[in-house]
Structure 1
């Protein structure tokens, strides 16, 4: 039987016996995939009400970002504010406890992101 099958694989299927399958082009609509997410986001926005700014602090410890709420005491200790200029206006990105830290953050943002950061004394 092995010898006969070898001839079948070698010769292939006759033209008149082949089944021609029509390939249906797959349509991928990425915006349709996001409709559910968009509707859930809008529903959540309606139930939450207006957003409020919460003063928060980000610390980096051993390559982990730690987000904390800032107490009023820490806010009064801040000496400099970091501001970025955007087409929509200025945006404060944070505050520092001393000028040296503010300069270091501004320098790194200029190197990494190519953004100019203005340091404002508080």
Structure 2
């Protein structure tokens, strides 16, 4: 079994050398993140999890808005517009999600 896995290491090496950089956010993925947030909230998923979907939607939307602007007016414009879109999406939602102010990250233990 281990020998079979070792045969794929050269293949992975060659694939990693000849690949190009890919930015995988398409309109379908952007709408999918927004729909996942709405669907998760409708199913009763915690606001923290819904916040992850909303954050992904906001950043993807910001990157798509940057593509509408053909010229770069300042350095790091795509990232700046993505953060601007993120904050314009998250700040109005903060009063709705006031009870959740901390960031829970646990490598061990239960959720919730």
The TM-score normalised by the length of structure 2 is 0.32
Larger radius of gyration: 1
The TM-score normalised by the length of structure 1 is 0.30
Higher strand share: 1
